[in-house]
Amino acid sequence: MDILDKIEFSQARKKLLRTQQQLADLLGVSLKAIHSYEQGWRPVPAHIERQLFFFLSKIRHEQPGDKPCWEIKKCGMKDDCPAYEFSCGHLCWFICGTRCDCTDKLNAKEKIAICRSCDILKSLLE
């Protein structure tokens, strides 16, 4: 799966403790767009998906015991990775040029499709 489905989108909104109107305002879209995403009438655009994951990661990162990606994945390439360089191990899925899973040469849309199968990103929707 390469985009959020209607159930995941709705779950993300609820995890953020936002009404549909509040989420529309936060994402810079119309209320009708939020309705369309939650009903499955329209696919969630990649830039909206990334914003949602970013907000969810900010909530998650504030939890004690959160480990960076290089510890979770036992990465041997961390010294050459921008996630390590900028101490953003909880945002590895957001940063292009990361070394894991051969995503260093991919654009943001291609990278997020691979990262969606990674436990680091999947944990944001749990």
Cα–Cα distance list, 12 to 55, 59, 90, 101, 103 (Å): 9, 11, 17, 25, 25
104 pLDDT higher than 90: no
Amino acid at 83: A
> Does pTM surpass 0.85?
no
Highest mean pLDDT out of 10-14, 61-65, 101-105, 121-125: 10-14
Average pLDDT estimate for 69-80: 84
**Residue 64 has what pLDDT?**
52
Band the pLDDT of 126: cuts 50, 70, 90. Answer: confident
59, 125 in Cβ contact below 8 A? no
